[in-house]
Amino acid sequence: MLRDMRVSVLALLLLPLIAACSAPTLTPVRPASPPTQAVTPAVVSFDQVVGKVKPVAEATCRQSLPRGPCSFKVIIDTSATDKVNAFQTVDRQGRPLLVFTAGIVEAFNNQDEMAFVLGHEAAHHIEQHLAQIAQTAGAFTSIFETAAAASGITVEGQALAGELGELFGSRVYSKQFELEADALGTVIAKRAGFDPVRGAQFFGRLPDPGDQFLGTHPPNAERVAVVKSVAAQLQ
């Protein structure tokens, strides 16, 4: 009974963390992408942007990661027409994938927005954020499990603590990583011939996440400020 009470107390203490981490930040290894897609004006425009930004992103990647991999593959997920989202992941061979939903491609107002978001997602790979998230999540998993075991709670409680540690670790640096990707994404978009400040206006049409505890993204105003600051330095 005492051990069960300890598990309950641990769950209550970490309830805010559970709520904050209800959505995982790790992305799927194999995103859905049907073989055919509707060729809309937005898709044509996006393809043009990819042709200009992708070589710049790959050159930037090779400077930071001489051993790569730096051959980006850009995918439009046509199964997600109602979702406005983009993310970076890798395939089973470790090749970096930049995945855009059909919804976000249609939501862009101009090529500057396309270029900035494309540069942002490429920057996540260049900065090796997925690897850092996995490492931090693993470290916090071990810390939480060790602390739970030392308190004498049940094996089930230790497993719960480990899961919470993994979620905490996957979120703890999330905002920092987003700002780093905004900064490097600004550089990539600018080098490719686009206006990243104009591109960052895309944030203005997204819900502002605010400054939430363990939120995945920083406030939109903070992100725009980073873009403007970096762009000013590139003048």
Cβ-proximal residues to 172 (8 Å cutoff; 6+ apart), any chain: 136, 140, 214
The per-residue pLDDT for 35 is 44
The torsion region of residue 91 among left (phi > 0), alpha (psi -120 to 50) and beta comes to: beta
Residues 100 and 77: their CA atoms lie apart, in Å, by 6
CA gap 95, 64 in Å, rounded:
16
Q: Residue 106: how many CA atoms within 13 Å on its side-chain side?
A: 14
This prediction has a pTM of 0.75
Print pLDDT tens along the chain (235 aa).
333 334 343 443 443 443 333 333 333 333 444 445 578 999 999 999 999 999 999 999 999 999 989 999 999 999 988 899 999 999 999 999 999 999 999 999 999 999 999 999 999 999 998 888 877 766 656 666 677 777 777 777 666 766 665 665 556 568 899 999 999 999 999 999 999 999 999 999 988 866 554 446 789 999 999 999 999 999 8
Give whole-number Cα distances, 84 to 32, 64, 102, in Å: 15, 29, 8
**Cα torsion 157, 160, 166, 168: sign:** negative
